[in-house]
Chain A
Amino acid sequence: MTAATVSSELAANGRNIRPGRVITWTLLLIGGLIMVTPLLYMFSTSLKTAGQVYDLRLIPAAPTLDNYIRVVSDGRFLRWFLNSTFVALAVTVSNVFFDSLVGYTLAKFEFRGRYFVFLAILSTLMIPTEMLVIPWYLMSSQLGWIDSYWGIMFPGMMTAFGTFLMKQFFEGVPNDFLEAARVDGLNEFTIWWKIAMPMVTPAISALAIFTFLGNWTAFFWPLIVTTSRELYTLPVGLSSFAVEQSIQWEMIMTGAALATIPTLLVFLLLQRYIVRGVMLAGLKG
């Protein structure tokens, strides 16, 4: 191929691709800005004093860390932060354990009604949370779970989505591995734990990340089920800044900025798993 043909081909490619690319990049840029702007304003407002909040300049005239000091030194924030951490971690561990266990059973064991059970689990995905809140509340109140950690956590301890995701993944684990372990004398639980689980680590990480983030930011149910301030999770606690006295935007934004830190950390550290997880959820779902 001569240099002339190469350059003419490149030019042809360039002509073919350029208009589409321009549109794509423009849309992505606009999308990116829409996503990032509130985040930037959140950080910016957290560095402003109460008087400067409605001064909409992105870079504060006199940036201050006072808000951060106030929020952190206020014992309530730390308590809510720990509550959220505990709830999100406990629900994540529970999800990984139970979703995997049920997903594995549905994927690898033949039993009567297996398909029906799977459909029943799957069908719960079609019921919106808003509809479930009342039965959850009634159940919690009858069982004495209102205003307790257990009450906050129980609806999310196992999810249909997680079960579905894990089932799809376990189906990809060749039976030979499990049978080899069976011949080697392992019991079914150990086979699941020692052999099958390590083979689906990408799915486990995806599930863990999604569950953690989802529970870290959960607002609606924790708000309903908790009454005492000590049990508030971070989002519920932050919202209480808005109803006390007047809306303290700078405090809300400072709290929100601090609350974003674990999310950002999770994202930065586990970025590749998240991207993979999104792809998996897309492909497998």
Chain B
Amino acid sequence: MAKIELQGLVKEYGRTRVVHGIDLAIEDGEFVVFVGPSGCGKSTTLRMIAGLEDISGGTLIIGGEVVNQREPKQRNIAMVFQNYAIYPHMTVGQNIGFGLYTSKLPKAEKRKRIEETGKILGLEALLDRRPAALSGGQRQRVAIGRAMVRDPVAFLFDEPLSNLDAQLRGQMRIEIKRLHQRLGTTVVYVTHDQIEAMTMADRIVVMKDGHILQVGTPSDLYENPVDMFTARFIGSPSMNLLPGSMASGKLTVEGATWSGGTVSGTGEVRVGVRPHDLEVAETAGSGLSATGPVVAVEPLGAETLVHVEVGGETVIATAPGRVVPPIGSSVTVAAPTGSLHLFDVATEKALGRA
């Protein structure tokens, strides 16, 4: 187990810089998830940690040692790939055992480890099968097994659940999380799925265009996003953003009414409100309220997502599960004071809550 430190880590392809000197300290035993849209540099960063990409600048420290120049095998880390990368010509047992290929352990010990790993992952009955005879979830477990068997200082996961269907993804999320709790090994996990990030991470690292935008616990990021991108990226459905302005302590939101007290600052703002804070209400209370026509509804059972047109923009509000307003009808939506996020239009940075 080890602490991983990224100090001013840079990646350049020719003249193009794709990772712009990022700093991060991943604590021993921590589960850190890198999240961001495609091309944000999260996978590149992971591959630099693994040693699969050369580091163009900065320092990478694993377990107190600078490893910039070390080959992947000298870093004692294990990696699980998006397409599993389990070898089709080997059995499950051989695949898991492949993690020990270079190990000098006696054969009996290797065998024991393979069996133990198979048992932990529920693969003991499948050790003699070929990957072709396995389901997607089982294949992913084999890939994890191959990583586990070596007892590495850290696990790196590169979008490991992207190829699975939604139900299996949910199941594997829990399995990986439980495995982490059981093994206590440092995990660096890359995904573009914010739900995976929210449900699994001790800390989330939000990346965009090769920069780290924010690092924090899932609730930190949800409650206090530092900019519009993080605000919209974290949380499902995405945060609603409405145009507004502030002048002499008063907040004006286009198409809506604000009765939540004074705000500090002046100028144009974007007013963010999470769909779960914006509820379909009988009457407008204190805070933000708006009335508009329903353009779409998504009944999810426990709740209903109601798309309402407010000031020319479509916002998503929530209603209790059994309430399904008809499309075209007019509804009032309201968000309580303290639930609004204000962002600067020019810098997109958070200005505070209202």
Contacts and interface: CB of A to CB of B under 8 A. Distances in A.
Interface string B66-93: 0000011100011101110101110000
Interface residues of A, number: 15
A183 B50 contact: yes
Interface residues of B, number: 23
Interface in A163-188: 174, 176-177, 179-186
A183 B99 CA distance: 9
A180 to B, nearest CB: 4
A185 B51 CA distance: 11
Contacts of A198: 87, 89
B87 A184 contact: no
A199 interface: yes
B146 interface: yes
Contact of A185 (B73, B81, B88): B73
Interface string B81-122: 111010111000000001101100000000000000000000
B155 to A, nearest CB: 11
A121 interface: no
Contacts of B87: 177, 195, 198
A186 B101 contact: yes
A185 B89 CA distance: 19
B150 interface: yes
Contacts of B99: 184
Contacts of A182: 51-52, 71-73
B79 A180 contact: yes
B302 to A, nearest CB: 38
B85 A180 contact: yes
Interface string A183-227: 111100010000100110000000000000000000000000000
A179 B87 CA distance: 12
Given A183-B73, A184-B98, A184-B101, A199 B78 contact: no
B72 A183 contact: yes
Given A195-B87, A199-B88, A199-B89, A183 B82 contact: no
A240 to B, nearest CB: 46
Contacts of B50: 179, 183
Interface string B191-225: 00000000000000000000000000000000000
Contacts of A179: 50, 52, 72, 79, 81, 85
Interface string B43-64: 0000000111000000000000
B148 to A, nearest CB: 12
Given A177-B87, A198-B89, A199-B89, A184 B150 contact: yes
Interface of B: 50-52, 71-73, 77-79, 81-83, 85, 87-89, 98-99, 101-102, 143, 146, 150
10 contacts: A174-B83, A180-B81, A180-B85, A181-B98, A182-B73, A183-B52, A184-B101, A186-B101, A199-B88, A199-B89
Closest 10 CB pairs of A and B: A185-B73, A180-B85, A185-B102, A176-B85, A198-B89, A176-B81, A183-B72, A183-B79, A182-B72, A177-B85
